[in-house]
Amino acid sequence: MRPLLALLFTLVTICGVASAQTYTLGDTLTVIQRPLLNIPSIVTPGEDLAISCEANPATTGWTATLERGGLNIPLSVTSAVYEPATTWWLLTAAVPEVPVYEIYDLRVTADGGLDDNTRHAVRVIPQRRDDFYFVHITDTHLPTYLYYYEDGADTDSTTSEGLREITRDVNIINPEFVLLTGDFVNEGELEDFLDKHYYSRGQMHLAEFEVPVYLTAGNHDVGGWSDTPPSDGTARRDWWRLFGWRKLDAPPPAELIYTQNYSFDYGPVHFVGLEAYDNYDSWRYSIYGAESFTARQMLWLQGDLTDADALYNVLFHHYDFGNELNLSSLGLDMSLWGHIHRDTDDNTPPYDISTDNAGGSNRPFRLVRFFSGEFDPRPTLEAQDGDVLRVTYAPANDGTHDLVTAQVVNGYGERFEYGRLRIHMPADAAGFIVSGGTLAQVDDTGGTALCYVDVDIPANGQATVIVEVDDAAGTPPAVSASRLSAHPNPFNPRTEITFAMPAAGACRLTVFDALGREVAVLADGRRESGPQTVTWDGRDTEGMSLPSGTYFVGLRAGTYVETRKVTLVR
């Protein structure tokens, strides 16, 4: 990827009223090929993270790190194998316990100065839900429906603003992930042409989601236009450069696939993403033909589904241009797509469902539930102008107030039982009292204490969440239920770490240094219910005294996670 210090472009966009839009020049793929911003990985501690890299077959000294803000978590690379059939390296890295369950950037290095990173590529979660929901979005047509030669195309950002309204709602609803099925941008040839950087702007939008987004290409993305100045094939070449993969230009003989197709699993469900297109500029017609899907794509799909051997299979793609998909014979339980700019609901499995275009004025998206082993595709939701699902904070949600009230108003006829709010509180607070929701974790690694509050948002209803600083939490022996605190803090030579177990069960209490490395395990096993006290004397797992500095104490008990910053002063 390009360094994140890429050149900033500032554009003035007009959408009813003038507003400023700032974005960075897009990150281009260099070493890391997967996971990516647009093809992320979801993992839990103790699992292996698969990392595909493009590098010289003789490369040695591989390392991998998860990064988020100032937090760097080294991964143990347990294997690194070059695969001649794919021309990629496959790294396997063990996922450790992390101070914060979140979306992380991924950095990979190797001997000889190789150094690459990819944004928002890995989401670490405590565990996968048995029952969950995800979101389907399609046809965003960023940043405008206007073509480059039309009046106003340089300044209009109507569809960009629309996607932002959807993104705000999705981040509150907190699905496990988003499937975005193509026509992501309106003109795929406009990355370098006239410095419009449509794909770069698309990357910016993906990074604004607080959940993983899986993207597939559509005809507006990679089909090209025969009447535009960029040469034929420009759209595909730019897609490969920013979203993957360059080897599709000349794939290895062992896998002669010229289209970007991939799959991933979440619990018992296997998800498959297929590239789909109309080959408008007739580029490499002998390979791509007039439209998707190619014969090689269909063979790949059949092989992938067979190898997956999953209980449930979901296909997501832009459109079946050639009417080639027979869901029943393929063993698919659901197909999600777009292109036609309208909803086609289906109440009978296998579900064959399109969702209206997100670039439309109503800004639609669809929630799909998986509960008790059954899919439940819900009617399309419409974000409109951002006033359907609203959160207001009093006072401001800026980390300077000891008490913050969040008022959630849900105008959708849909319950969001996994809703999540991120509320900033003072960084030096001893603990927090939460009402109206469940404190899932506290991220104390930044300038504020970021409280992740899970809230069950009722359909056509309201929810009030209050987060308040608990001054008593840091004064032993009083312990706020399930709250983690340390006293004294700063400390020398030791500090007492207190928390409460509402019920008997397993818990793990660990210490991380400022680089995110686990340096000590203070508790790991079953604890009885009630107040708990653990003393840490500033030593690591080997009994060696640690230097002065900032450390993070992390508590995990079931799905409850909290992190507390402590300072050791020698």
Nearest to 233 by CA among 214, 251, 255, 248: 248
Q: Please name the residue that has the structure tokens 């241009």.
A: 321
Nearest to 189 by CA among 247, 149, 248: 149
Residue 530: its H or E element:
strand 530-536
Q: Could you give the domains of the chain?
A: 8-27+128-382 (3.60.21.10), 45-123 (2.60.40.2320), 389-469 (2.60.40.1180), 472-568 (2.60.40.4070)
pLDDT digits (tens, 9 = 90+) for 126-172: 999 999 999 999 999 999 999 999 999 999 999 999 999 999 999 99
Length of the chain (residues): 570
CB 14 within 8 A of CB 146: no
Q: CA distances (Å), 414 to each of 78, 212, 325, 368, 512, in order?
A: 44, 22, 31, 11, 40
What is the Cα–Cα distance from 456 to 418, expressed in whole angstroms?
A: 6
Each of the 570 residues of the chain gets a pLDDT tens digit; together they read 433 323 333 333 333 333 434 566 899 999 999 999 999 999 999 999 999 999 999 999 999 999 998 889 999 999 999 999 999 999 999 999 898 999 999 999 999 999 999 999 999 999 999 999 999 999 999 999 999 999 999 999 999 999 999 999 999 999 999 999 999 999 999 999 999 999 999 999 999 999 999 999 999 999 998 888 999 999 999 999 999 999 999 999 998 999 999 999 999 999 999 999 999 999 999 999 999 999 999 999 999 999 998 999 999 999 999 999 999 999 999 999 999 999 999 999 999 999 999 999 999 999 999 999 999 999 999 999 999 999 999 999 999 999 999 999 999 999 999 999 999 999 988 889 999 999 999 998 888 999 999 999 999 999 999 999 987 665 433 333 356 888 888 899 999 998 888 778 888 899 988 777 889 999 988 888 888 899 999 999 889 999 999 888 888 887 677 788 889 998
Provide the 3-class DSSP secondary structure of residue 564: strand
pLDDT digits (tens, 9 = 90+) for 457-476: 999 999 999 999 987 665 43
* DSSP β-bridge partners for residue 18: 14
Above pLDDT 90, what percent of the chain?
78
Nearest to 569 by CA among 533, 553, 545: 545
